[in-house]
């Protein structure tokens, strides 16, 4: 199980500070959509610099103009990018192509998709593409959990699970292969982000 710390809805200086503190103890750092919208390519570049050797994902949630948006993120140092599963299929196919040209990772955000559409994407997309069952911020208040979105389609796929996950959720996900769990507020709102990431590592079995 890999850990990814998502930086969202916080000032850029705090994002950089948290990145510096937790990057050595996490597998990925994510510059969330809100930070990208607020601080743009320069904000992404600063987080990449703070992350050092830890790879950074740019959560672009691209829906159109794939090549331009992806190239902008790669120029700032991102190693992974996201495209919306709600995007036109031509855009998703282009996303596969462009990330391949850059030897980068593509994550397809499945937020808002019907089970039928998720199954179609799982059948169509190559297995190196990571699929992301994602419960949106607005939907989390209703009690939905990202693990509830898993099904037969997810077996044998690389997954990135996102949506209000905490350390308490991780032991129940230990049997999922090729899984990356994305945690945001559990780290960014903690009094001490380093203590929080250490708790998450123990829950994920990474320090056992």
Both structure tokens of 37: 């919208």
Q: What is the pLDDT of residue 20?
A: 98
Residue 108 lies in a domain: yes
With respect to residue 208, please indicate whether it lies within any of the assigned structural domains.
no
Query: What is the total count of domains within the chain?
Result: 1
157 inside domain? yes
Give the span between the Cα atoms of 193 and 124, in whole angstroms: 38
What rounded mean pLDDT belongs to the chain?
Answer: 94
- In the three-class reduction of DSSP (H, G, I as helix; E, B as strand; rest coil), residue 28 is classed as strand
Per-residue model confidence (pLDDT) at position 203? 93
**Predicted pLDDT at 137:** 76
Residues of the chain with pLDDT > 90, as a percent, come to 80
Q: What is the pLDDT of residues 25-51, one digit of tens each?
A: 999 999 999 999 999 999 999 999 999
Instruction: Give Cα 152 distance to the centre of its chain.
Output: 22
Domain of residue 117 covers 2-203
CA 179-184-145 angle, 5° bins? 60
Cα 191 from Cα 45, distance rounded (Å): 26
Task: Inform me whether the pLDDT recorded for 1 exceeds 70.
Answer: yes
Joined together, the tokens standing for residue 32 give 């969330």
Could you give the percent of the chain with pLDDT greater than 70?
97
Does residue 161 have a pLDDT over 90? yes
Q: The domain that contains 174 carries what CATH number?
A: 3.20.20.70
What is the tens place of the pLDDT at every residue in 130-156? Answer: 999 988 777 766 667 778 888 889 999
Does residue 76 belong to any structural domain of this protein?
Answer: yes
pLDDT for 108-121, tens place per residue? Answer: 999 989 999 999 99
Please state the pTM of the whole predicted model: 0.94
Q: Does residue 99 fall inside a structural domain?
A: yes
CB 133 within 8 A of CB 154: yes
The answer to whether residues 194 and 25 touch, using CB atoms and an 8 Å cutoff, is: yes
Let me know if residue 36 belongs to a domain.
yes
Residue 60 lies in a domain: yes
CA dist 3 to 49, 115, 178, 202, Å? 19, 26, 12, 11
CA distances from 57 to 70, 110, 120, 175 (A): 11, 16, 25, 24
Per the rule left: phi > 0, alpha: psi between -120 and 50, beta: everything else, 99 is: alpha
Q: Is residue 199 part of a domain?
A: yes
């Amino acid at each position: 199980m890999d850990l990814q710390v998502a930086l969202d809805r916080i000032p850029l200086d705090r994002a950089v500070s948290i990145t510096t503190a937790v990057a050595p103890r996490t597998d990925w750092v994510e510059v969330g959509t809100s930070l990208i919208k607020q601080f743009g390519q320069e904000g992404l570049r600063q987080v990449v610099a703070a992350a050092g050797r830890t790879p950074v994902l740019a959560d672009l949630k691209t829906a159109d103009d794939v090549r331009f948006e992806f190239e902008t993120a790669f120029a700032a140092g991102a190693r992974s990018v996201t495209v919306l599963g709600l995007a036109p299929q031509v855009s998703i196919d282009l996303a596969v192509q462009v990330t391949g040209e850059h030897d980068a990772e593509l994550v397809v955000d499945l937020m808002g998709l019907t089970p039928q559409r998720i199954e179609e994407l799982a059948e169509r997309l190559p297995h190196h593409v990571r699929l992301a069952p994602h419960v949106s911020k607005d939907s989390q208040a209703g009690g939905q959990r990202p693990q509830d979105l898993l099904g037969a389609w997810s077996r044998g796929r690389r997954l990135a699970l996102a949506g209000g996950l905490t350390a308490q959720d991780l032991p129940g996900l230990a049997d999922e292969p090729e899984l990356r769990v994305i945690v945001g507020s559990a780290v960014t709102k903690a009094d001490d982000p380093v203590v929080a990431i250490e708790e998450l590592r123990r829950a994920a079995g990474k320090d056992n």
